[in-house]
Amino acid sequence: MTRVTADPTILSIPEIRSTFRGQVIGPEDEGYDAARAVMMGGVEGRPAVIVRVADATDVARVIQLARETGLELAVRSGGHSAAGHGVNDGGIVLDLRDMKGIDLDVEGRTVWAETGLTAGELSVATAAHGLAIGFGDTGSVGIGGITLGGGVGYLVRKHGLTIDNLLAAEIVTADGTLLRVDAESHPDLFWAIRGGGGNFGVATRFQYRLHPVDTVYGGMLLLPASAASVAAFMAAAETAPEELSAIANVMPAPPLPFLPEEHHGTLSIFALMVFAGDPAAGEQAMQPFRDIAAPLADMLKPMPYPEIYPPEDPDYHPTAAARTMFIDHVDRATAETIIGHLQASDATMRVAQLRTLGGALARVPADATAYAHRSSRIMVNVAAFYDGEEDRIAKEAWVADFCHALDQGDPAAYVNFVGDEGAARVRAAYPGATWERLVAVKRQYDPGNLFRLNQNVPPD
């Protein structure tokens, strides 16, 4: 990795500092290392400058700076990009983290939220009024990235993807214009930002539709994993009421303090589940899962919805090999494949994460948004942590082999889980007509590909 400091002939930090309301951080400044850190380990970019923007005017000014200097622009909200796109080497980072305004219309059940918020922060704010929107499984993920890519989480079967609840957005485009984008105003751009990622501009605010989601029945259920239990779990998730969304992580049981030591490291189904409806009905809906095997731990209970986002360690930056894909079914043979591959790996942390989709997500037409995989039934993420370069190669081979064995002919990929995997994988996220349409919108709003440090849709 090249070490870069701002070239004063291109960029004078003292000069630009006075032109922003937000904080401008250069390589010589205290706090630079903390400011450039992103979630994924092994991403060590050293930008020439980080601008922690305060408002849309600052955003437009950063865009102008990137155009004037020709320096590469990274756009960062929560910093969780698997490809490390939230930082760069020698370029400009537009960091939205300090933009956390929330404008809630409780009666109308909508909220305008600035894109520096995390999923957890916004969920806590709306939960104070018994309202929610679904994001993903992790509270520290930024609403910026997760929304623009789709958003698959604990309300997905009941209320759809995050984008299925996006009513409008404010976007600063490559020419510095602030646009309000919705179904009537710039409908082509509104279509593209619902799944097309950060290709079209910088979103400063999103308006979401909220749902009455107050006390839910959910939490963590830990079951012993075998081919039989994994297949049974997935069958139960498929037939469960739509209120129930489950994320089944088949992985070595973590050394949880309340888990007897003999189970630590044994293969388990670490399931995170939410029933977004009447808690009593939720308890009933969980019974088929509890009946699969004697749980190793059962923490399912009535709880306020945001409790599904427990506190996180901000210093957690794992290095992982990972790949995302979709499959149709987890029958006994598929479950055997899953167990066999997990048993064959020596990674301290290795997982096949299985998410049953369908429900509200599947009722949206495939061409209504740039997330086109509406009929794909189960989202899978295979991942293994690694330690060092040699181990990375071994773990990437394991992931590739595992995914090959799981392949059931669905070529789709979910863009928010794609890492730095090359152009073909971006194309897999956007099949056929979706790709053509994204390119057309890109040509109109970002013909010079200013926003290219992302899962890129080039204009030509």
| Member of 45, 120, 145, 295 binding ligand FAD (CB under 6 A) | 145
Q: Does 142 bind ligand FAD (CB under 6 A)?
A: yes
**Taking the complex as a whole, how short is the minimal distance between the CB of residue 425 and ligand FAD, in angstroms?**
14
The token pair that represents 201 in the structure block? 């501009």
Amino acid letter for position 434? T
Is 321 exposed, middle or buried (CB count within 10 Å of its CB: 0-12, 13-18, 19+)?
Answer: buried
| Member of 136, 218, 252, 459 binding ligand FAD (CB under 6 A) | 136
Q: How many residues does the chain have?
A: 460
Q: Which stretch binds ligand FAD (CB under 6 A): 3-11, 123-131, 141-149, 285-293?
A: 141-149
| Member of 416, 429, 441, 450 binding ligand FAD (CB under 6 A) | 416
Q: Which stretch binds ligand FAD (CB under 6 A): 7-15, 139-147, 209-217, 441-449?
A: 139-147
The closest alpha carbon to 195, from 169, 228, 225, belongs to: 169
Q: Does 249 bind ligand FAD (CB under 6 A)?
A: no
Question: Which residues have CB under 8 Å from 402's CB, separation 6+?
Answer: 341, 352, 382
| Member of 96, 117, 168, 236 binding ligand FAD (CB under 6 A) | 96
* Closest residue to ligand FAD using C-beta atoms: 145
CB-nearer residue toward ligand FAD: 74 or 286: 74
Q: Which stretch binds ligand FAD (CB under 6 A): 22-30, 70-78, 236-244, 389-397?
A: 70-78
The closest alpha carbon to 251, from 353, 330, 381, belongs to: 353
The token pair that represents 163 in the structure block? 């984008």
| Member of 163, 202, 236, 269 binding ligand FAD (CB under 6 A) | 202
**Taking the complex as a whole, how short is the minimal distance between the CB of residue 155 and ligand FAD, in angstroms?**
11
Collapsing DSSP states into helix, strand and coil, what is residue 28? coil
CA distance 394 to 345: 10
**Taking the complex as a whole, how short is the minimal distance between the CB of residue 291 and ligand FAD, in angstroms?**
26
| Member of 26, 47, 86, 91 binding ligand FAD (CB under 6 A) | 86
Contact 429, 418 (CB under 8 A): yes
Alpha-helix runs per DSSP H in 297-412:
332-344, 360-363, 389-406
Contact 427, 347 (CB under 8 A): no
* Residues numbered 259-298 forming contacts with ligand FAD, rule: CB under 6 A: none
Q: Which stretch binds ligand FAD (CB under 6 A): 151-159, 223-231, 337-345, 431-439?
A: 151-159
Question: Which residues have CB under 8 Å from 290's CB, separation 6+?
Answer: 221, 298, 300
The token pair that represents 268 in the structure block? 């388990």
Task: Give contact residues for ligand FAD (rule: CB under 6 A).
Answer: 39, 75-82, 85-86, 96, 115, 136-138, 141-142, 144-146, 148-153, 197-198, 202-203, 416-417, 454
